[in-house]
Amino acid sequence: MNIAVLITCYNRKVKSVFCIRSLLQNKLENINYLDVFLVDDGSTDGTSAAIQNEFPKVNIIQGDGTLYWNGGMRLAWSHALENDYDYDFYLWLNDDSMIYFDAVSRLIATYDSLIDRGNKVGAVIGTMIDPVVKTPTYGGRVCNSYFNPLSFGPVLQPENKPLKCDFVNGNFTLIPSDAVKKIGILSDAYTHSMGDFDYGLRLKKAGMTCWVAPDYFGECELNSEKFGCKDTSLSLSERVNKMKSINQMPPVEEWKHFVREHGGYIWPFLYLKVWLRGTFPTLWVILRSRNIG
């Protein structure tokens, strides 16, 4: 069995090193090759040098600072596909996730059990837990509305059996080669966020299923909203300005594409909301702060 691990990073040297260390300390049974493809998207804190020094076998690909998560993961994935090995799985791993020593083997075991039951598996997600408050932070979600297919429910609490889900977080996610043959890699329509959600929804459209594996697989804090566009302690103008950052909100055109692709019969209504954000950003922030729209 051969696995390609895909990671992208930017200026989180300590976390990136810890992440890869936790990965390579995993108990790997029946795995011939576990190759790491890491895109360093223009880090200035010595990330590449630190990783190369401790983990010389990691394949480091340099980015130019414009790739962000989705672009970096696409580049890593493209390099993995060009490698000589025919990988059985592609494993997405966020560099701020510290996975447990048996995480990889448990994720594969969950995949195998689902296949044995006749499922056409497109993705298996390992849920991350907050190291302090011990609540799930990233994993799988289900749609919580009958009418709106893009109504994202909370991160699922893992149980003692696999749970089917609609939306996929990319923190620790196993993608079998069959899925790649079916729908390809992450879409180039997205720069940073929404690429993982889009991939899960594309898998569903292709007749494949997405699953949350039993129990937790590692620790990862939620991205803080402090000093971001959702921080109500900031002035209105500051929040509007923050909203323009790619790592704060998906760019308007990318979000329009997402709702057209996956918004079902109500996509024009969802498109109108995105148009409102792009045309009247101040009004949009006001409505959001009052939980309207």
pLDDT in tens, 233-277: 778 788 878 777 787 789 999 999 999 999 999 999 999 999 998
Q: How confident is the model at residue 292 (pLDDT cuts 50, 70, 90)?
A: very low
* 8 Å CB contact between 168 and 125: yes
Give the pair of three-digit tokens for residue 59.
Answer: 């394949």
Tally of helices (H runs) and strands (E runs) in the chain: 10, 12
Domain boundaries, the chain: 2-219, 236-289
pLDDT in tens, 115-147: 999 999 999 999 999 999 999 999 999 999 999
Structure tokens at 34: 């576990």
* Structure confidence by residue, pLDDT tens digits, 196-208: 999 999 999 999 9
- For residues 110 and 159, the answer to whether their CB atoms sit within 8 Å is no
Run of H or E including 259: helix 252-262
Q: Amino acid letter at 253?
A: E
Q: Is 98 exposed, middle or buried (0-12, 13-18, 19+ CB in 10 A)?
A: middle
Stated pTM of the model: 0.93
| Nearest CA among 200, 183, 174, 21 for reference residue 91 | 174
Identify the architecture of domain 2-219 in CATH.
Alpha-Beta Complex (3.90)
**Alpha-carbon distances of 123 from 12, 49, 172, 230, 279, rounded to whole Å:** 27, 32, 10, 30, 36
Taken as a whole, the chain contains a residue count of 293
Does residue 284 have a pLDDT over 60?
yes
Give the Cβ contact number of residue 150 at 10 Å.
19
